[in-house]
Structures are given as structure tokens and as C-alpha cells.
């Protein structure tokens, strides 16, 4: 496990505490909002730094796809990372799978298992989205759905290394940072962390800025509008 980045307490744990809990009030009600405020103030384009680092940079998002916010252009860079890591055997994990369109595309492009983590609790994904997930991933034998929130799925994970994680669940700073620190710790050398909504959501954008600034073991690998991919150095 890549333990260089401490794994913080999951913000979801604070939310689930009693409304009168002081730690909940501070962390969930105050600190979380302050982080979103700071993220809005520090939001910036990732293009210059990805370009400067020699990453693959595309300026076109490409056409939209039905049942997902992921565009054709974003899918292309994701699938390039899948192809680049195809010599690895360990699973690919998608945090937030919604209607399964990206899940299916990832699974169709690899022999590896794709683990889709999504609780369908009404926060972005509902029962009707789960029904569509099942429809879209029907017949794909290398997809495993974990119906749980990110932190619970991580806590019950076997510890097996993974080759790639696509982070696309709750787009606030503290949640996205937790997903990166936790799931990123499982990524084997040369594997990938991909973030969706890096331009649309200030919190995710700020997580990418923090990775660039504080995590030299993660190299900027590819960018297309609203998606950024980092590769773990050996």
C-alpha cells in the first residue's frame, strides 16, 4: 500500500453523527463549507501545469453521451489510461457509477475486473439509476457492483492492490480528497488515479491542485476538459 499520504477521516462519518454532536457541527457544518468557499476562490485551469509537465492535453471535451456526464473526449483519455495499464492484473475501481455507462466502457476495454462502488442512496444516484446501471452492464462478466458508500467500501476492501481508480462520486473537496487518499493508497506503481469534474467542481479542482503541489509520487498524465489523470511513479 502507498502510505505516503495519510488517509483522513471520511466526511460521511461526521454527517451520520447526531445533529448536536460538536465534532459534526465543526467538521460537517463549518469546516466542510469553509473548504468549499476556499475551493471557489482558488479555482483555476489545470491546463498550464499539465501542459508544462508534458502530459497528454486535449482541449476538446468531445460529444456528450447519453446517461452520463462523461463525454466522448473524456472517455477517450480514460480508455487510454486503461490501455496503458493493461499489463497489470489488479482491478479498476470506479467510485460513483451512476447509470453504468462509463463502467461498461471501462469493462469492455479490459480483461481486468471493474469494481463499481455506488450506494444509490438518493445522493446523485437513485433506485431508477441502479436499474439503468443493471441494464447497461448486463452481460458484462468482469463488473462487480459494491452497493456501499466509498468509505465503507474502502474499509471493507481486502487490501488488494488496484491498477486504476476513477473518482466520480461526491464532488466536494473533503470527499474527493478522502477518495484520493484512500483509494489512491491502493494503486500500484504505474497505475492511475482519474478525477472527473475537475473544472465544473471547485472542490475537485482544488484536490488536483493539492496533488500537483504535495504529492510528487503522482505525475500529471492526461487532461481533457473536466477530467484529469495522474499516474503513480514507481
**Residues engaged in binding ligand SAM (CB under 6 A):** 12, 68-70, 94-99, 101-102, 117-120, 123-125, 129, 149-150, 168-170
Cβ of residue 154: shortest distance to ligand SAM, in angstroms?
9
List Cβ neighbours of 131 (8 Å cut-off, separation of 6 or more).
none
Burial 202-220 (b: 16+ CB within 10 A, else e): bbbbbbbbbbbeebebbbb
List Cβ neighbours of 137 (8 Å cut-off, separation of 6 or more).
100, 103, 104, 107, 116, 143, 145
- Residues 194 and 105 sit within 8 Å (Cβ to Cβ): no
Report DSSP letters for 197-210, one per residue: -TTT-HHHHHHHHH
Q: How far apart are alpha carbons 87 and 70 in whole angstroms?
A: 25
Of 154 and 221, nearer to ligand SAM (C-beta) is: 154
Cβ of residue 99: shortest distance to ligand SAM, in angstroms?
6
Of 53 and 69, nearer to ligand SAM (C-beta) is: 69
Cβ of residue 10: shortest distance to ligand SAM, in angstroms?
8
User: Which residue has 501542459 as its cell numbers?
Assistant: 51
Of 148 and 190, nearer to ligand SAM (C-beta) is: 148
> Which residues are bridge partners to 92 per DSSP?
114, 164
Of 125 and 202, nearer to ligand SAM (C-beta) is: 125
Of 91 and 119, nearer to ligand SAM (C-beta) is: 119
Nearest-CB residue for ligand SAM: 125
Cβ of residue 13: shortest distance to ligand SAM, in angstroms?
11
Cβ of residue 118: shortest distance to ligand SAM, in angstroms?
5
Amino acid at each position: 500500500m502507498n502510505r505516503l499520504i495519510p488517509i483522513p477521516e471520511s466526511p460521511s462519518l461526521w454527517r451520520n453523527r447526531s445533529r448536536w454532536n460538536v465534532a459534526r457541527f465543526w467538521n460537517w457544518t463549518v469546516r466542510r463549507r469553509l473548504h468549499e468557499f476556499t475551493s471557489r476562490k482558488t479555482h483555476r485551469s489545470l491546463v498550464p501545469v499539465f501542459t508544462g509537465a508534458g502530459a497528454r492535453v486535449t482541449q476538446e471535451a468531445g460529444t456528450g453521451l447519453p446517461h452520463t456526464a462523461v463525454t466522448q473526449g473524456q472517455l477517450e483519455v480514460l480508455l487510454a489510461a486503461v490501455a496503458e495499464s493493461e499489463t497489470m492484473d489488479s482491478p479498476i475501481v470506479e467510485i460513483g457509477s451512476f447509470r453504468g455507462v462509463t463502467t461498461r466502457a471501462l469493462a469492455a476495454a479490459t480483461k481486468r475486473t471493474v469494481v463499481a462502488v455506488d450506494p444509490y442512496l438518493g445522493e446523485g444516484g437513485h433506485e431508477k439509476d441502479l436499474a439503468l446501471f443493471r441494464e447497461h452492464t448486463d452481460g458484462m462478466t468482469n463488473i462487480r457492483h459494491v452497493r456501499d458508500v466509498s468509505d465503507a467500501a474502502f474499509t471493507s476492501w481486502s487490501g488488494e492492490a488496484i491498477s486504476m481508480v476513477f473518482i466520480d462520486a461526491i464532488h466536494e473537496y473533503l470527499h474527493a480528497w478522502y477518495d484520493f487518499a484512500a483509494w489512491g493508497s491502493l494503486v500500484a506503481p504505474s497505475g492511475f488515479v482519474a478525477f472527473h469534474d475537475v473544472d465544473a467542481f471547485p472542490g475537485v479542482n482544488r484536490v488536483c491542485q493539492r496533488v500537483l503541489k504535495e504529492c510528487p509520487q503522482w505525475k500529471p498524465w492526461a487532461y481533457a476538459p473536466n477530467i484529469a489523470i495522474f499516474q503513480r511513479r514507481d
